[in-house]
Amino acid sequence: MYKKLSKKFFLLIIVGLLLQTTATTAATSKYNQSVWKSIKKNLRLQRVTRKPQVKAYIKHYQQDPYHIRVLGKRAAPYLYFIKQQVIARKMPAELVFLPMIESAYQPFAESKVGAIGLWQINAVTGEHFGITTDEWTDNRRDITIATNTALNYLAYLHKKYDDDWLLALAAYNAGPRTVNRAIARNRDLGKKTDYWSLDLPQQTKQFVPKLLAISHIMTHYKKLKITVPHIANQPYFVAVNLNKQIHLQLAADAADMQVTELQHLNPSIKQLVTHPTGPHKLLIPVTQANNFLSKIQNVLKQYKSTWYNYKILPGDSLIKITKNHSQTIALIKNVNNIKGNLIIAGKTILIPHTS
């Protein structure tokens, strides 16, 4: 089936993104094991779970098992990929839990100060590491790009703080300047400069103990008699790169999945269509990949529209706009999630331009 797919429509199909294994047979013993077990084998910071601050959060999480289950469920689509990236870099496996503390593994999370996505990357950090944003995409939300950016940043911080992972984590949360000032103050006072001795913002004082506690909870759940979702130690998604713009609803239909699920795998796409000039990469669940690949070729052949942002002018109405662009009111309302018939001058809506 795959040989029949035209190269014209597929520039690249990556199965098991980057360092993910290409095997997808669940019958293997590796895939039958839980991802939690794989993570547990690569923990490197657990010795500090004896700290009172960490013990307090372990107890706190034990008393809120519902929260633990929710975090595990939210992490399920992303955890294997992130785990593979962390292990490939020989980093502590505890880092896979950083999005649980930063964003509760919610890909559309946005902080009050504008940090975005699973890894809560702010604009300055994103720009420094070459992440692109525009009216169509915000790659701080892209699962693969943001993960590699966050791990690059953590590697930089780890080196900066002389291989001290706790200081690196504190700097990830509070920023290097804040940590540097705290270290300088302690040096001036003749005090220790390890993480536990620093006077840091309250959020950062909580951040590292929370991360260590949640790492312990999620990987020692049997001993602690806590229920966590089973997540197989295998890829959840594959990446498909198309060579043209496509509406997400059409892609979701081809994959036999809900568009909201597709959006959660592709949260960097700000509109309901991929970027006009590309790239047109979509993450698709492994379980839906065969459906998608068997149908998408015909969808792309029939799909001759390019979408662009139209700025609503004074005096415009849905009837006038759809007539001028040879479209239906139902299509424009559905694409732009417009309820009723009211539109506001100065706002923008998506309009298809048919070639």
Rounded distance between C-alpha atoms, residue 206 and residue 54, angstroms:
9
User: Mean pLDDT over residues 10-25, rounded?
Assistant: 41
DSSP states of 321-343 as a string? Answer: HHHHTT--HHHHHHHTT--SS--
Which of 178, 206, 224 is where one domain is finished? Answer: 224
Residue 28 has a pLDDT of 42
Q: Which of 17-21, 279-283, 298-302 has the lowest mean pLDDT?
A: 17-21
36 and 183 fall within a common domain: yes
Whole-structure pTM value: 0.81
Task: Assess whether 37 and 177 both reside in one domain.
Answer: yes
Q: What is the pLDDT of residue 309?
A: 80
Q: Which helix (H) or strand (E) holds 205?
A: helix 202-219
| 8 in any annotated domain | no
Q: What DSSP element (H or E) covers 349?
A: strand 348-354
Give the model confidence (pLDDT) of 43-97 as tens digits: 999 888 889 999 999 999 999 999 999 999 999 999 999 999 999 999 999 999 9
Q: Residue 35 falls within a domain, yes or no?
A: yes
Q: Which of 114-118, 168-172, 285-289, 292-296 has the lowest mean pLDDT?
A: 292-296
- Could you tell me which residue, 277 or 21, shows the higher pLDDT? 277
Q: Are 187 and 82 found together in one domain?
A: yes
Output the average pLDDT for the chain: 88
Q: Which residues lie below 8 Å from residue 89, measured CB to CB, with a gap of 6+?
A: 151, 155
Q: Say how far apart CA 86 and CA 84 lie, in whole Å.
A: 6
pLDDT at 29 over 60: no
Active site (annotated) includes residue 102: yes
Catalytic residue among 102, 110, 127, 135: 102
Is 239 inside a domain boundary? no
Query: 203, 224, 245 — which closes off a domain?
Result: 224
Taking 60 as the threshold, does the pLDDT of residue 3 lie above it?
no
Q: Residue 312: which domain range?
A: 305-355
| pLDDT level of residue 26 (50, 70, 90 thresholds) | very low
